[in-house]
Structure 1
Amino acid sequence: MDDNIHGRSGVLTFYASSYAHLLGGTRSLFGADQVVMGLGDRGRKRIAIVGGGSAGVTSAKCCLEEDLEPVVFEQTDALGGLWRYRDVPEYGVPSLMKATIINTCKEMSCFSDFPPPREFANYMHHSMLVRYFELYAQHFGVTKHIRYNTEVTHVVRSADYDDTGRWDVTYSVRRTNVASLAQDKGPTPRTETFDGVMVCSGHHVFPHVPTFKGLDKFKGQVFHTHDYKIPDSFRDKKILIIGVGNSGADVAVDLCPCAEKVYLSTRRGCWVIRRVGFWGVPADSFLNRRTVNLFNKYAPEWLVNFVYETYSNEAFSHKLYRLKPKHRWRNQHPTINDALPNGILSGRIVVKGDVDEFTETGVIFKDEEGYEQKLDVVILATGYLARFPFLDQEVHKTEKNKVCLYKYVFPPHLPHPTLAFIGLLQLLGGVFPAQEAQGRWFAQLINKKLSLPSTKEMQAHYERWRAKLERRYVDSLRHTFQADWVDYMDDISSQFGAKPDLWRMFWRDNALFWKCFWEPCLPYQYRLQGPHAWSGARQAMMTMKDRLKGPLDTRKMPPADARSAQDRKVRRVMPTFIWIAIAVAIFIYLLTFLF
């Protein structure tokens, strides 16, 4: 199967055959309306897409849907962006460690008209996720629009911008041949004019490296998680990781089997949730439901926090493990990790407080009264800065990592909706469907099928949103572009008419209504109606559980044990406090709506 996936000629054959048994053939899965055909370039608007990762690939597909001509500028030699593993980290290129697994399950993370293969793991390894992107790009004809080894160095308004909204994009082709490198002094910049620009380079490129007292004197190794790859060279080392977000926790778990000791420093603590949820199903497939979202929005805040804190503490006591923060659950983006409590319980990972200062040979923590902890390595898991060096400050300016964007997409001060940021947000849920929704919105706008509010209205909206974020979240770099998954997907999709009409659905397709309202809020919901609706969306929703079970179907179970009466009973009964909380939220919502 691996050869067929990676082989250029066999990609579509593999994907189609994987689903023929499920949805009755390739045509019923994709629908004739979803196959992008090659079109002539004359008269088509040209869109520059900066970055060939998940955001860039889906943005190109969204452009093709609207008969636009995308040009994807990818500075490396392959698509995948952050998720394409490379042995050697490179400045200006996103990076991940070799053991990285996605934090959101495949059904909640897929693009809205391209279900992941049944055989793919529910929580995909980065290599499997890149395969999914390759399949997607091949199927929708995106690959031929990607210019590899091409780095965008400058994006400025064209001379006729005031009238047309066009942009001049300057780029350089990276030399990959040794002989050409020896002959040339450097890449020659070239400039082309585009009708629109989609910035898809993401926010995991430039590490945030804060200052610590005495760190410059420390004689051991110091680096950012951006540069961490594998644990082999850290055997029997004493390691300090500063930061307990997703990256810090992942690196700690990866290192603890071989390191002598891993110290995990946190300023304020964190709430941890597992990928594995109730009954062993993916946790985010439960957390991102419309019913749960109603509870989050309309139940008293103390009750919402109580429920989620109880859920997190069900795995392990955050107080006992010294991770409990002073703030409540919904005041911080949670850390997602299944193995962290095991590392702490086994003594391989030791939770520590904030750093006071470093010495030549170790560190002193603020709550340990001058005691020096000896160290060999310091790893900074201190996040990233949202930077776009190819854009002038007058086009887009970031202060304290706060991105001034209307709905995280458009700079509100620009008079034309021809520059968009795709994927510059953080969700407790799959980011890829959100990137796609943003791309669909932009493509509709560039073709003048929609319009944006005035610059004054967009700026006012941004300021209200910023104030809301600051009221809810603790002050942190990671919370400057935060959003709730269901609300954000509904909001963006409603801009171009793709938000599902649940009221109409209730009367016309009751079974589908309950799938949309009660079960996971799958990305396929946003292809049921609106521009470029997909004829296979309903079937994809109805067959989600089969694809969820697919990678687990590795052993035949005896018929008598396949599903006992007790098993059925357990699966029917959800933790009582969850259902009570949801019922309270719905009741409060109805009271609000009616009175």
Structure 2
Amino acid sequence: MRVAIIGTGVSGIAALKCCSEEGLEAVCFEQRESFGGLWVHRSKPAANDTSVTQQVICNTSKEMMAFSDFPPPEAFPLYMLQKKYTEYLQLYVKHFELESHMKFNTKVNKCDYKDSKWILEVEDLRTNVITEEHFDAVMLCNGINRKAKWPNYPGISDFSGQLLHAQQYRKASDFSGKNVLVIGMGNTATETAVELTTEAGKVYLSARAGKWICKRLTPSGLPTDIHLFRKLRAYIMQILPRMMKQFWLKNFLSLNHKFFGLDQDSTISANTLTMSDDVINKLVCGKLILKSNVERFDFNEISFVDGTKLTDIDAVICGTGYELDYSFLAKSLLTIKNSKLFAYKHVLPPELIDKKLAVIGCISVFGAVAPLYESQCRLATRVFKGLVKLPPKEDMLKDIATTIGSQRNVDVIAYQDELCELIGCKPNIKRLLLEDLFVGLNVLLGPCTSYQFRLTGPGKWVGAKSAILNQWSRMYYPTSKHWKATLTPWTSDFLKIIICLMLMGLLFILLLTKLF
């Protein structure tokens, strides 16, 4: 079976690896000159070409964002910079010998399905030669951060200063001494504003509503995602009332958001959380000034909904997100409603399952996305081969109707479990505890790293147990090279639970003796 993969970002690399794993003949098309997608910094990108800045730090820790059969080197930092994460991708591609299947400087102009084949019109950007290629299956891996989404405030087109999207921003020195307004308060907009404070004259940050700010490390020094994403905690959170879950999450953030003008009524979710270690420091020292939502532009004057105005702004940067862009695909093929893809498990459009088309990476999460992309690819390739028994179409449509609203707020652990259950690689924790107690406890009480989905089923990896047992030492090696794990954090948590249960039991016994 011949598979076309469009894009060589994180999802495209994962797709190519999964095709190779399943024995499928894959060709990966990339219009840039190298793989890595937006993680490869480009000083002068083309239109609709998103690229992170060189100062970007990953929002998730290295163990949580690793592919399931390729742990990061222990010398890599706990949170990787752009350059280091690109290096990790290069190591992965080299280890699994994937680059020979990639075609760079090659653009897919059209993609359509005719006569039981996918027909791609492909252009070589170096020679402008256009050819036609035929495939049995297609995996769309061009990402959700390509087509810039612009705000439509009244008068914005008449703004007298410089107007650009965060997609076009490259470095703070380009705005040296200028007064800049950044619109939006997602991860990109917030980090852009923080970075600008090192060079710009004044920096303002405008948000429609408050945001919940989360730091990369907990007060104890543990990575936030390592602390949050654990199987046992996820199981407990599933049975707790919504109010109790929100109370716990707000208490975990341990920041008086109202004091900083960030308070809001919305619940904590992937849409309302922003990862930033520095934004609060910039606010309290006056380097960054928070503004309400923009109301309108009037040449050189910007009005805000709280009645305030600014007249000294030299540049406006819009960190207002992106729109889904599959313009190369025949319009009748994909169904997109309110910028959300109509697809089973956010991967398989029901009307195209028989035609073998999968969309990878069309989700947003608070947490690591690379392992989710990988599981999406593992599912898609096995569906292509007819090795996964999908539910009836009616059931899939009901599932889509239930889950499409959460496509931009996916529950990391629950979604990963759903994908891996379909693949057949979700570990049975009860059986695991009986067969290998220590590994089972690590899976249940430790961080939900992707290695556990290589313990069993299709794609089983002999190094999975070792990867799980050594993840704590790899995590702390860069900062504590001589650290020996005598008591891992999950072990101490387990002991606290046991002690609490023992104390509760003792109190119960004492109460019984008093009563009777």
Describe how 1:191-590 pairs up with structure 2 within 5 A: 191-312=132-253, 314=254, 316-330=255-269, 332-368=271-307, 371-416=309-354, 418-466=356-404, 469=406, 480-553=407-480, 572=492
The match for 2:14 among 58, 64, 77 is 58
2:511 alignment partner in structure 1: none
**Which residue in the other structure is 1:92 paired with?**
48
Q: How far apart are residue 94 of structure 1 and its match?
A: 2.3
Maintained 8 Å contact 2:424/2:457: yes
Cα distance in 2 for partners of 1:119, 1:364 equals 49
Letter in 2 for 1:110: A
Cα deviation for residue 259 of structure 1 reads 1.5
**TM superposition shift of 1:286:** 1.0
Letter in 2 for 1:232: S
Q: What whole-Å deviation, never above 9, does each CA across 1:415-473 have from its counterpart, x for those lacking one? A: 51610011111122211111111111111111122233333332221112135x3xxxx
Q: Is the 1:158–1:193 Cα contact (8 Å) retained in structure 2? A: no
Displacement of 1:397 after TM fit?
A: 3.0
Query: Contact between 1:305 and 1:330, CA under 8 Å: does it hold in 2?
Result: no
1:101 equivalenced with 2:57 (yes/no): yes
Q: Which moved more, 1:302-311 or 1:412-421?
A: 412-421
Q: Aligned partners of 2:392, 2:493: CA distance in 1, in Å? A: 50
8 Å contact from structure 1 (residues 47, 69) kept in 2: yes
Structure 2 counterpart of 1:84, which letter?
Answer: V
Distance 2:440 2:450 in 1: 15
Change (3 A) 1:113 1:417: farther
The one-letter amino acid of 1:394's match is S
Is 2:113 the counterpart of 1:174?
Answer: no
Asked if structure 1 preserves the Cα contact closer than 8 Å seen for 2:270 and 2:410, the reply is no
Letter in 2 for 1:259: A
2:100 paired residue among 130, 137, 144: 144
User: Counterpart of 1:79 in structure 2: which amino acid?
Assistant: F
Residue deviations 1:79-107 (CA, integer Å, cap 9, x gap): 10010110012113222222111111110
2:269 and 2:409 in contact (8 A); partners too:
no
CA contact (8 A) 1:427 1:483 kept: yes
Q: Which runs of 5+ in 1 are unaligned?
A: 1-44, 181-186, 470-479, 585-595
Secondary structure, aligned partner of 1:344: helix
Q: Which runs of 4+ in 1 moved over 4 A?
A: 571-574
Amino acid at match of 1:242: I
Question: Contact between 1:238 and 1:377, CA under 8 Å: does it hold in 2?
Answer: yes
Q: 1:333 to 1:413 in 2, by over 3 A?
A: farther
| Paired residue type of 1:105 | S
Partner of 2:69: 113
For 1:572 and 1:60, how far apart are their aligned partners in 2?
40
Q: Secondary structure at the match of 1:374?
A: coil
Cα deviation digits, residues 485-504 of structure 1 (max 9, x gap): 11111100110110011111
Q: Is the contact made by 1:89 and 1:226 (CA closer than 8 Å) also made in structure 2?
A: no
- Secondary structure (helix, strand or coil) at the match of 2:134 reads strand
User: Aligned-pair distance for 1:331?
Assistant: 7.7
**Aligned equivalents of 2:270 and 2:79: distance in 1?**
26
Distance in 2 between residues matched to 1:196 and 1:394, nearest whole Å:
17
Could you tell me the TM-score, scaled by structure 2's length?
0.92
Q: Distance in 1 between matches of 2:404 and 2:2?
A: 33
Unaligned runs of at least 5 residues, structure 2: 505-516
Bigger Cα displacement from structure 2, 446-455 vs 200-209: 446-455
CA–CA distance in structure 2, aligned partners of residues 536 and 372 of structure 1: 58
User: How far, CA to CA, are the matches of 1:143 and 1:284 in structure 2?
Assistant: 31
Matched positions, count = 498
Name the CA distance, whole Å, in 1 between partners of 2:238 and 2:355.
Answer: 31
Q: For residues 317 and 394 of structure 1, what CA distance do their matches in structure 2 show?
A: 49
Q: Which amino acid in structure 2 is aligned with residue 320 of structure 1? A: F
Amino acid at match of 1:145: H
CA distance in 2, matches of 1:212, 1:408: 31
Per the normalisation by structure 1, the TM-score is 0.80
CA distance in 2, matches of 1:430, 1:217: 40
480-489 or 537-546: bigger deviation:
480-489
